[in-house]
């Protein structure tokens, strides 16, 4: 396989190409109706390298989906792959026994926290998905507080397990499944360009936070004191919506005053995605529980964990078990990923390439169909809406996604009605690749939105 990338991206067939079509047919015949990504991105993947992925027909795409944010150093980073492979012949699976690879991984993760926070934290290794770590965080907080209610935010996404789904805003995913986890109360998120309270961002005084304050402080507010408030600092699946800093700070102040654990779901925003190791660092708050998963290994080997304040550590031995909590190859990859982040200044690259994307996508600001361009670090979204009615422009977003694919760029959709074009490049992406990808997005939006 050549990895000379000067001629990439390169799409030489219709999409899906003939071999991809065959794979997709086979998938449709045998796999679940609940399969999702290949429905809108109709390709079968053969191999990946860095920011690129090749389909089974030989077409090469820039991958700005990156395993839904998992591949922080792109596909198959050679040093990370070597570190993972090095473990495979030594020890692969170790439940939650201590091992040298796990200890190194844990120390590396903790080293990314401030000394003060680190000194207060404990870590639980969860089953290997974000949703499992969300479940763990809920159980931890419920056990420690003895309370049953949970506060979550509209538009948020926390996973597809029964409990994580209960915290998620997406009604269509919940509706068909009767008997969801009870006790979840949804409050508005600081989504200023579509303010749920219909206020203008320039005159509003973070009334969305005030609503939560009133509900929890008012003896007639209707909600018993919750076990946790669970927050994404940038809603990812919800359409790349960074929370307003004063919203986050007020929620931190409120939860601290009322002794309610604040859980930040950094499954997507963590591991450097927003330009700091965790997004909460940019909001000047310290959470009680941090949920991390997706990019912990840097290369797509699954790991999930929660880091939490020691005072919450009241659950019993075995309170949150799971067979797959000791993936030694993933731990070794995660250590190597952090080493490469530090050696190569990857967090600085996230900030620089993020600024580049902000500037390039900003060229769309005067397009009437572009409702908003927003993001943080290397999480970006372009929201399309009907200029007359303001309604989410889902069909155009799907057309943009499909056009981009044909031009050699994989992007995801998200947000209300999937009207937001989402870009999640590898965090070590080069300026050249960002430039090419942004050019394709601009061209796609201009082709379908004029
Ligand atoms: N939380 C957030 C913020 C997420 O973005 C996701 C996945 N997109 C999850 C939780 C669930 O992670 P997983 O799919 O690994 O269960």
The DSSP result for 211-258, as a single string, is HHHHHHH-TTSS-PPPSEEEE-SEETTTTSEEPPHHHHHHHHHHHHHT
Within the chain, all domains assigned CATH 3.90.1150.10 are found at: 345-450
Structural fold of domain 80-344: 3.40.640
- Provide CATH code, domain 345-450: 3.90.1150.10
Q: Indicate whether residue 232 lines ligand 1 (CB < 6 A).
A: yes
Alpha carbon dihedral 383, 386, 387, 391, in 10-degree steps, equals: -90
Cβ(449)–Cβ(442) under 8 Å? no
Q: Is 417 left (phi over 0), alpha (psi -120 to 50) or beta?
A: left
Cα 292 to middle of ligand 1, angstroms: 9
Cα 264 to middle of ligand 1, angstroms: 12
Cα 130 to middle of ligand 1, angstroms: 5
Separation CA 82–CA 73 (nearest Å): 14
Q: Which of 71, 155, 159 to mutate to test the pocket of ligand 1 (most atoms within 8 A of CB)?
A: 159
Residue 3: predicted pLDDT: 61
Q: Which tokens go with 49?
A: 């390298």
pLDDT tens digits for range 193-202: 999 999 987 8
Separation CA 158–CA 129 (nearest Å): 11
**Tens-level pLDDT at each residue, the chain (450 residues):** 556 777 799 999 999 999 999 999 999 999 999 999 999 999 999 999 999 999 999 999 999 999 999 999 999 999 999 999 999 999 999 999 999 999 999 999 999 999 999 999 999 999 999 999 999 999 999 999 999 999 999 999 999 999 999 999 999 999 999 999 999 999 999 999 999 999 987 888 899 999 999 999 999 999 999 999 999 999 999 999 999 999 999 999 999 999 999 999 999 999 999 999 999 999 999 999 999 999 999 999 999 999 999 999 999 999 999 999 999 999 999 999 999 999 999 999 999 999 999 999 999 999 999 999 999 999 999 999 999 999 999 999 999 999 999 999 999 999 999 999 999 999 999 999 999 999 999 999 999 998
Q: Which of 65, 127, 131 to mutate to test the pocket of ligand 1 (most atoms within 8 A of CB)?
A: 131
Relative to beta strand 412-414, strand 409-410 is unpaired
Within the chain, all domains assigned CATH 3.40.640.10 are found at: 80-344
Q: Which tokens go with 250?
A: 């007020």
Cα 367 to middle of ligand 1, angstroms: 32
Alpha carbon dihedral 333, 280, 111, 343, in 10-degree steps, equals: 60
Residue 322: predicted pLDDT: 96
Separation CA 241–CA 193 (nearest Å): 9
The HSE-up count of residue 362 (CA atoms within 13 Å, CB side) is 8
Q: Indicate whether residue 129 lines ligand 1 (CB < 6 A).
A: yes
Q: Which atom of ligand 1 lies closest to the CA of 134? A: 10
Q: Indicate whether residue 266 lines ligand 1 (CB < 6 A).
A: no
pLDDT tens digits for range 292-318: 999 999 999 999 999 999 999 999 999
Cα 4 to middle of ligand 1, angstroms: 33
Separation CA 58–CA 135 (nearest Å): 40
């Amino acid at each position: 396989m050549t990895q000379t990338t000067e001629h990439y991206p390169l799409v030489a067939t219709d999409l899906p190409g003939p071999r991809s079509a065959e794979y997709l047919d086979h998938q449709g015949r045998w796999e679940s109706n609940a399969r999702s990504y290949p429905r809108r991105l109709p390709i079968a993947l053969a191999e990946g390298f860095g920011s690129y992925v090749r389909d089974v027909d030989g077409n090469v795409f820039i991958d700005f989906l990156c395993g839904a944010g998992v591949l922080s150093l792109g596909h198959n980073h050679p040093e990370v792959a070597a570190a993972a492979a090095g473990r495979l012949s030594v020890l692969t699976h170790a439940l939650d026994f201590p091992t040298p690879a796990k200890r190194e991984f844990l120390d590396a993760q903790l080293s990314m926290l401030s000394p003060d926070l680190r000194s207060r934290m404990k870590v639980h290794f969860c089953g290997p998905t974000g949703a499992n770590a969300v479940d763990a965080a809920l159980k931890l907080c419920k056990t420690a507080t003895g309370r049953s209610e949970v506060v979550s935010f509209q538009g948020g996404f926390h996973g597809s397990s029964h409990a994580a789904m209960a915290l998620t805003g997406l009604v269509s995913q919940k509706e068909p499944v009767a008997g969801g986890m009870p006790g979840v109360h949804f409050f508005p998120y600081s989504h200023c360009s579509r303010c749920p309270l219909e206020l203008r961002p320039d005159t509003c005084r973070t009334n969305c936070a005030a609503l939560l304050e009133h509900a929890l402080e008012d003896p007639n507010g209707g909600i018993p004191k919750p076990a946790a408030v669970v927050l994404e600092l940038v809603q990812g699946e919800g359409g790349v919506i960074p929370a307003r800093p004063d919203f986050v700070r007020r929620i931190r102040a409120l939860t601290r005053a009322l002794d309610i654990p604040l859980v930040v779901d950094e499954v997507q925003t963590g591991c450097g995605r927003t330009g700091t190791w965790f997004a909460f660092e940019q909001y000047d708050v310290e959470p009680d529980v941090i949920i991390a998963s997706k990019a912990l290994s840097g290369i797509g080997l699954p790991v999930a964990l929660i880091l939490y304040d020691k005072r919450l550590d009241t659950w019993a031995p075995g309170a949150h078990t799971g067979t797959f909590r000791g993936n030694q190859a993933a731990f070794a990859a995660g250590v190597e990923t952090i080493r490469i982040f530090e050696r190569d200044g990857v967090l600085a690259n996230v900030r620089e390439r993020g600024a580049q994307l902000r500037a390039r996508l900003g060229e769309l600001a005067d397009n009437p169909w572009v409702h908003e361009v927003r993001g943080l670090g290397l999480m970006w979204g372009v929201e399309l809406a009907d200029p007359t009615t303001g309604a989410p422009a889902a069909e155009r977003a799907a057309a943009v996604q499909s056009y981009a694919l044909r031009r050699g760029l994989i992007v995801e959709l998200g947000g209300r009605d999937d009207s937001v074009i989402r870009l999640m490049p590898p965090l070590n992406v080069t300026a050249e690749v960002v430039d090419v990808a942004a050019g394709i997005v601009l061209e796609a939006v201009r082709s379908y939105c004029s």
